[in-house]
Amino acid sequence: MYEITILNGLVDQTLNALPGLSDDHKQRLKKQMHETDWKPDSEVDCALRELFGSAMNTYEMAIKKIVRILGDLIGDPTVRISKEETDESKMYVKLEAFYASRKNHTSTTTVKERFQFWRKDEKRASKLKQLEKWNKKLERLLEKHTTTPKQTTTVVKLPPGWHKSIEQIRFLGQILHSSLTASWSCDCSIRHEARFCLKSIDRLIVRTDLAEGDFDFLIQTDAGAKGQQWQEGIILVKPTSSTLSQQQRELLTRICDAAKGIPREFCFNMLVEDVQGTPRSWKLRARKKRLCLAHEKPSLSLEDLLNASSALPLTFKRGLALTVAWSLLGLKEDTWLQEGWNKRSISFFHASDQKLDYERPFLSTCFETQPTTLPGTMLSCHSNPRILELGILLIEIHTGRTIESYRTEGDLSDGQANAFTDYVVADRVARSLNDCSLDYREAVEACLDTPWVPKDQDADLSDPRVREGIYTDVIKKLENEYEYLFREKW
C-alpha cells in the first residue's frame, strides 16, 4: 500500500543517514527489516542520537505512534497493540508474533491482506489517514536533520553598534530583574503582579550610545476599599552608582513601598543601581505619568483579543509582531522569559480616551521565585523554546486565531497535547499561510526551522550568531513588510 511504501522509504532514508555506521552494517539492518530477529543495537542507538540530537525524543515519539497505528491496522487480536502497551519493546513483541506466525505457516494472511479485509472500512481509512499524517511528520523531521542548514541568501548589514546595544539592554534588564526579585516579598494582603512594557525594549535598541535605560512598569497594589489597582511607574537602571544627592532618594527594601502615597496624576519613580555586583533600589520623587492609562476598564490579554470576534487592525498586528520579535533579543531567557511567553502573558491596557492602547503591549511577570533551569517543554523538538514561542506568536497575531484552534485529532497523543503538538501544528499552518507576504511567512518559518543553527546544537540567545540570525531572518523581514505596507519605517 502507498503509505507503507512511503514508510519503508523513510526508514531506508534514516538508515542511509546514520553517522558512524559502515555500509555493511547498514545493509544488515535493511535485511533485518524483513526478518523477525530484531535485537537491540547500541551502535544504532548512538548513531540515531547523534543524527537527531535534542530531537531524539521527538523521533522516538513519532516511531512509537507509527508502530501503534500499524498494530491497529493489522487488526488481529493476537497482534493488536493496546493503548496501555506504550513501551516500544511490547509493540515489537506483538508485531514479531505476527511475523512468526507467517514464518511457521500458522497464518497465511499478509499485512496487505489484513489491511484490505479489515472489517470496519471506515476505521481502517481513519487509521491510514493517521499513518499518512505521521509519515509526513517523520518526513519533515528527517528533512531537517539530514540536510545541510540553508544559509541566508540576502546579506543584511547590521545597524552600527547593534551588538553592543543588545548586550547593554540585556545587562540592564538583568540588574532590574535581580533588584525587583530581592525587594518583591512583603506582608501585603495581595500577591503583587507586575507588567513590563515591551516598548521599552525597542525604544532603547535604536540607541547606539546606550549606557543606562528607563523602563515603563506597572505594579498591582492594594487600594483598600477600592480593591486592587495598577500603579504606573518609571524605573531608571544604571550599571554604576549614581551621583544623585542622598536627600533625593530613599532606599527601598519592599517594592510596594515605591507605590505608596502617589497621587492619581503621578507615577512612582525608581532608581536601580548595580553597586559592585549587588543591585540596589531607591525611591525617587514622583513624576507625572508618561503612559496616561485608564484603569477603570480591565486589561485584555492577547488571548482575549484572539478569542474575540472582531478583527484586529493590520497596523496593530504588524507593529506587535515587530515588538515581540525585538523583545526576544532584549530579554534574557533565565530571568524575564524563564517561564516562557505566549498570548496569555502579553496584555494591553486602555488609554485615557478609553480605547485600547494597541501600541504598548505589556509582559506579565512576577518576581517571587527563580527556577534554576528553564522549562523544557519544547526542548525535545526545537533548538530553543523561546524562539519557537515567537514563531507561534507570529502565527497567532497574523491569523487572529490561537494555535490550539488549529489542532486536529491526529496532532494529539491519546487525546492530549504533548511537547510535539504545537510545533507540528505551527509548522503545518506556517506552510499554508497564503494571505500574507513572503517576508512574513519566511520570518515565521525561520523561527520554526532556525536555519542558522547547526542541527546538532541548541540555540542560545546569548550567542551573537543566534541573535544575528533572528535579526536577519525574522526582524528584518518583518521590517521590510512593515515599510512596504505602511510606507514608513517602524
> What cell was used for 438?
513572503
SS3 state of residue 439: helix
Residue pLDDT, tens place only, 373-393:
444 444 457 889 999 999 999
Nearest to 193 by CA among 203, 184, 183, 202: 184
List domains and CATH numbers for the chain. 2-146 (no CATH), 162-294 (no CATH), 302-486 (1.10.510)
Contacts of 123 (CB under 8 A, 6+ apart): none
pLDDT digits (tens, 9 = 90+) for 270-299: 999 988 888 889 999 999 998 888 888 889
> Does residue 289 contact residue 345 with C-beta atoms inside 8 Å?
no
For residue 318, the model assigns a pLDDT of 94
For the chain, 490 residues long, the average pLDDT of each consecutive 10-residue run is 73 81 78 62 76 76 83 56 48 58 62 48 76 82 66 62 86 91 82 88 69 88 69 89 64 86 88 87 90 86 90 92 94 86 93 90 78 45 89 96 92 83 91 89 93 83 92 94 84
Longest dimension (CA), the chain: 96
Residue 321 grid coordinates = 509582531
**C-beta separation of 293 from 350 below 8 A:** yes
For 69-77, the CB contacts below 8 A with 24+ separation are 69/127, 69/130, 69/131, 69/134, 70/95, 70/131, 71/95, 72/127, 73/111, 73/114, 73/115, 73/118, 73/124, 73/127, 73/128, 73/131, 74/98, 74/111, 74/114, 75/114, 75/118, 75/119, 75/124, 76/114
**Plot region of 30 (φ>0 → left; ψ -120 to 50 → alpha; else → beta):** alpha
Which pLDDT does position 30 carry in this prediction? 74
- Rounded Cα distance between 381 and 410, Å, is 17
Look-up of cell digits 503582579: 193
Q: All 3 cell numbers of residue 32?
A: 533485518
> Is residue 52 a contact partner of residue 70, using CB atoms and an 8 Å limit?
no
> Tell me, what amino acid is at 93?
V
Q: What angle do CA 474, 386, 405 make, to 5 degrees?
A: 85
pLDDT reported for residue 101: 67
Collapsing DSSP to helix, strand or coil, 241 comes out as coil
Q: How far is CA 8 from CA 4, 61, 67, 113, 287, in A?
A: 6, 18, 13, 18, 69
Tell me the three state secondary structure of residue 102. Answer: helix
Alpha helix (H) residue ranges in 188-339 = 199-205, 302-307, 314-330
The pLDDT score that the predictor gives to residue 486 is: 87
**Which pLDDT value is given to residue 226?**
61
Pairwise CA distance, residues 228 & 341, whole Å: 24
CB 199 within 8 A of CB 217: no
DSSP state of 295: -
Q: What is the pLDDT of residue 316?
A: 93
